[in-house]
Amino acid sequence: MRPVHSREWRLRSRPVGRPRDSDVELVDTSCPPPLPGFVRVANEVMSVEPYMRGRMGGEATYADPYPLDEPMLAPTVGRVTESADESIPVGALVLHDLGWREHSVVAASECRILDYDDLDPATHLGLLGIPGMTAWVGLTRIAPLESGDVLFVSSAAGAVGSTVVQIAKRMGATVIGSAGSPDKVDLVRDLGADAAFDYHDGPVKDQLRKALADVGATGLDVYYDNVGGEHLEAAIRVLNDHARIALCGMSSIYNASAPQPGPANLLKLIWRRARMEGFLLEDHLDGRDDFSRRMATWIRDGAVRSVHTDYPGGIAGAWPAFHGMLDGTSVGKAVVPLT
Amino acid sequence: MRPVHSREWRLRSRPVGRPRDSDVELVDTSCPPPLPGFVRVANEVMSVEPYMRGRMGGEATYADPYPLDEPMLAPTVGRVTESADESIPVGALVLHDLGWREHSVVAASECRILDYDDLDPATHLGLLGIPGMTAWVGLTRIAPLESGDVLFVSSAAGAVGSTVVQIAKRMGATVIGSAGSPDKVDLVRDLGADAAFDYHDGPVKDQLRKALADVGATGLDVYYDNVGGEHLEAAIRVLNDHARIALCGMSSIYNASAPQPGPANLLKLIWRRARMEGFLLEDHLDGRDDFSRRMATWIRDGAVRSVHTDYPGGIAGAWPAFHGMLDGTSVGKAVVPLT
């Protein structure tokens, strides 16, 4: 076993506002053979996700900041090429977090061998991965959805949102989605949403009211929030009694350099006896096997389909891909094929 | 059975901004004997509450506006002097909503016969009434409090807040309260709070951090919110993981003429996996008997004490009492003894 050539993205400075090219560097390096207890992985596809912006900055969020002058992290799927741990054979398809690089040496304990390895590797980063399970946890544990409910989801063409739309339809809900371009709105309808709108086309509150009228409903039972801000305030305006809001992300404020005021109508949460709850997937890993079985079945049945955007250019394309994802050019899960 | 002389407050015009004396009138009238199915009640004590301001105005909130030129409504405790319904005997102590008057004729179905009628009648409007049960529901059903938790409550010298402080201490929590005057802060400490501050003394966020340090804690497990606004944002800043916020009232915005921006830090609800839930007592009436039994035991044990402000002057004093309550001159439950 010898070192192999690899390229990796290192964080050079902490971005302020929008990340700049000078904040990172693509470095040629050598990936050593694995020491005992480790495996070497040839990475096939990596994920780019909004939360990475927070980890590049120095703020303490729910995840530690990326260290400076080291390669960044990203959920990544690859094949084991060398193993120095008996629990993981060469050839296994594994998921790990040491992305932003072509080859990774990973502790066996930090790798998960993937079932359902006949599926497109990107599926393990999307429907079967963090976004898919985030959708499922939100709809089953945080803002439990009942058949007949009216649900609204923002970023409905995104990795989480596109899964929320599909799961919610399967659960018997009426589904309204918002997205950021006409193409995305078409996709959301294709995925089964009963109504969808482009949030650029007018105030969210007006478009949401119109969408409710279009589906013959007067209010929301569940709002699955991926963006915060104007969407959240608009959703609170039209909650039904005992409505539930799952706070999954707030993309509208991730890039804001100053605090953004919150919804001015929280009093309505009292009148409507409504609940709003934030969650992180790491608290719900006990449900993973159950989730994976259901989702794999849905995928094989064709009941749920993978929606992902493959950014080009291999590892060199990962940084532009990250920007593209932040800029909203992706639909579904944003991934970077590395081979 | 003959008519009895009675005085009552009628609403003459809908107040704009602060209610004025010309909006109401104290009228001499005659209270007739009860028709079948009704009882006549000699009222002993009535409640004045913030929500009444909303019902005087014409806005639709969660409760209907008071009709013009009729006596207003208020939770009231009195003794039955004449009964034309076999379910309620003469001499029974009852709770009803036809206050703002000395004598009331009430449908038997709209009266509740009070157990524990040996207690001070004001107790039935406070600890054993809506404010007390609101405190209890918030701490047991909405933001469940565990022994060892750190709790913060705003308006801690108010009718609900003073009960929250006492129940939370009994449940084994560390308690921090905020209030609006030095005397109220002293009261909150007397009730058992581990720390208390006057929100006029500096930014709530700074005072809350200091209070946390004083009790040797780093964050909040439960925030019982009676005011919204700056308090809510300050509490969200220091939530522990899996914290719960009970939204009970937002007194900071009831009198605001324009919408007030909400907390700018809702993203923290995600990082902290925190929950925020509004509630109305009417959804929890199934718990009333259980609540009443516990609270009566606590009162008899001396574990919880009634905190109320008796405004003077009998029925003529009810309108000044309402203003005094709005101006924050009361501590605990604001009541008007009528006999």
Domain edge (last residue) among A282, A298, A317: A282
Asked if B185 and B242 sit in the same domain, the reply is yes
Which residue in the set B232, B259, B270 is minimally distant from A264, CB to CB?
B259
- Tell me whether residue B206 is in a domain: yes
Report whether A127 contacts A296 (CB < 8 A): no
* Residue whose entry in the numeric block shows the structure tokens 């976004």: A131
Nearest C-alpha neighbor of B233 from the set A264, A269, A142, A205: A264
What band does A261 get if pLDDT is binned at 50, 70 and 90? confident
Closest chain B residue by Cα to residue A60: B271
Partners of residue B261 in chain A, C-beta under 8 Å: 261-262, 264
Asked if B145 and B61 sit in the same domain, the reply is no
Kindly give the pairing relationship between strand B150-153 and strand B220-225: parallel
Kindly give the pairing relationship between strand B103-107 and strand B93-96: unpaired
Report whether A77 contacts A89 (CB < 8 A): no
- Tell me whether residue B89 is in a domain: yes
- Tell me whether residue B103 is in a domain: yes
pLDDT over threshold 80, residue B61: no
What band does A256 get if pLDDT is binned at 50, 70 and 90? low
pLDDT tens, residue by residue, B4-14 = 999 999 999 99
Q: How many residues does chain B have?
A: 339
- Tell me whether residue A231 is in a domain: yes
Nearest C-alpha neighbor of B179 from the set B226, B141, B134, B215: B226
DSSP code at position B193: -
Nearest C-alpha neighbor of A197 from the set A187, A211, A209: A211
pLDDT tens, residue by residue, A194-210 = 999 999 999 999 999 99
Task: Decide if A232 touches B, using CB distance below 8 A.
Answer: yes
pLDDT over threshold 70, residue B81: yes
The pLDDT score that the predictor gives to residue B1 is: 75
**Structural domain total, chain A:** 2
pLDDT tens, residue by residue, B218-245 = 999 999 999 999 999 999 999 999 999 9
Asked if A316 and A278 sit in the same domain, the reply is no
Partners of residue B228 in chain A, C-beta under 8 Å: 266-267
pLDDT tens, residue by residue, B187-210 = 999 999 999 999 999 999 999 999
Q: Higher pLDDT residue, A54 or A220?
A: A220
pLDDT tens, residue by residue, A218-235 = 999 999 999 999 999 999
The arithmetic mean of pLDDT across residues B252-266, rounded, is 78
Report whether A333 contacts A308 (CB < 8 A): yes
Residues 167-206 of A with CB under 8 A from B: none
How would you label B208-228 residue by residue, b for 16+ Cβ within 10 Å and e otherwise? bbebbeeeebebbbbbbbbbb
- Tell me whether residue B331 is in a domain: yes
Asked if A113 and A255 sit in the same domain, the reply is no
Which residue in the set B253, B261, B283 is minimally distant from A262, CB to CB?
B261
Asked if A164 and A143 sit in the same domain, the reply is yes
pLDDT tens, residue by residue, B182-192 = 999 999 999 99
The C-alpha atoms of residue A25 and residue A23 are separated, in whole angstroms, by 7
Where is A209: in which H helix or E strand? helix A204-214
Kindly give the pairing relationship between strand A24-31 and strand A220-225: unpaired
- Tell me whether residue A210 is in a domain: yes
| Structural tokens at position B88 | 């309620």
Asked if B187 and B277 sit in the same domain, the reply is yes
Asked if A235 and A265 sit in the same domain, the reply is yes
Asked if B100 and B163 sit in the same domain, the reply is no
Q: How far is CA A35 from the centre of its chain?
A: 32
CATH number of the domain enclosing B111:
3.90.180.10
What band does A259 get if pLDDT is binned at 50, 70 and 90? confident
Partners of residue B268 in chain A, C-beta under 8 Å: 278
- Identify the sign of the CA torsion B175, B181, B182, B184: negative
Containing structural domain, residue B143: 130-282
Give the CA distances from residue B133 to residues A132, A227, B40, B187, B260, in Å, rounded to whole numbers and listed in that order: 41, 36, 27, 21, 29
Domain edge (last residue) among A236, A267, A282: A282
Report whether A323 contacts A19 (CB < 8 A): yes
Asked if B255 and B162 sit in the same domain, the reply is yes
Asked if B219 and B150 sit in the same domain, the reply is yes
Residue B247 and residue A266: Cβ atoms within 8 Å? Answer: yes
Predicted ipTM?
A: 0.89
Nearest C-alpha neighbor of B124 from the set B100, B86, B173, B159: B159
Asked if B92 and B151 sit in the same domain, the reply is no
Nearest C-alpha neighbor of B263 from the set B238, B222, B239, B232: B232
Residue A279 and residue B271: Cβ atoms within 8 Å? Answer: no
- Tell me whether residue B296 is in a domain: no
Asked if A274 and A315 sit in the same domain, the reply is no
Partners of residue A280 in chain B, C-beta under 8 Å: 270-271, 273
